[in-house]
Amino acid sequence: MIRAIAIVIILLLNIQMPVYGAQTKPLDDIREPIENGIALLKDPQYAVASKRDEQREKIWEIVRDIFDFRIISMMALARDWKAFNARQQKDFTEAFTELLKTNYLNKIQGQFQDERVVFLGEDLLTEKKAVVRSKILRQDTEIPMDYKVVFSHGKWRIYDINIEGISLIKNYRTQFKSILAKESPDALIERIRETTREEKKSGKPSA
């Protein structure tokens, strides 16, 4: 009888545990896409100018899949997010995503110097949040880079990047807060769109 009860308990535990147990590890979801992106940057076929747009789109497919841009947008606005109506939240997310896309792709295509990324490990903060630790190796220089990730839509996705102690989100949050202190949400959205248009023309990332 005791043996039968023990078996039932084990079966029940096995039924309840897969919700978190089946979750992939943060490092597993982040490492492969980033390594695939670096492989695209190193691929010699994209050294010719005529193939650069194709390279950009392939890199963007990877980036779009491992970043949660809605959460990034919410965190970039912080408390101001609630001051935006539903349409403004949607417009802001789309405009900010396009800015990050343009800025990010301009930067990595223009500044890539055959760097390598070494993944150091992961730290689970909660069941849904974690930090993936890595470093960039550039010649004789090591640059620490941490990816803050959240379990979203069935996989771990990046919502912030910390490079040498500097947060991507905090940098934008400071800029947006300063603008919103004087201007409306719609004015901020238009500013972001204009910055993106300028970057697309110049091919250079904003500061």
pLDDT tens readout for residues 108-138 = 887 787 788 999 999 999 999 999 999 999 8
Question: Residue 43 has what pLDDT?
Answer: 92
Report all structural domains of the chain as residue ranges with CATH numbers, in order of start. 24-202 (3.10.450.710)
For the cut 90, the answer to whether the pLDDT of residue 16 exceeds it is: no
pTM beyond 0.85: the answer is no
For the cut 50, the answer to whether the pLDDT of residue 42 exceeds it is: yes
Residue partners of 68: CB distance under 8 A and separation at least 6 = 150, 152, 153, 157, 158, 159
How confident is the model over 190-199, as a mean pLDDT? 95
Residues 75, 171 contacting (CB under 8 angstroms): no
Residue partners of 176: CB distance under 8 A and separation at least 6 = 76, 77, 80, 188
For the cut 80, the answer to whether the pLDDT of residue 202 exceeds it is: no
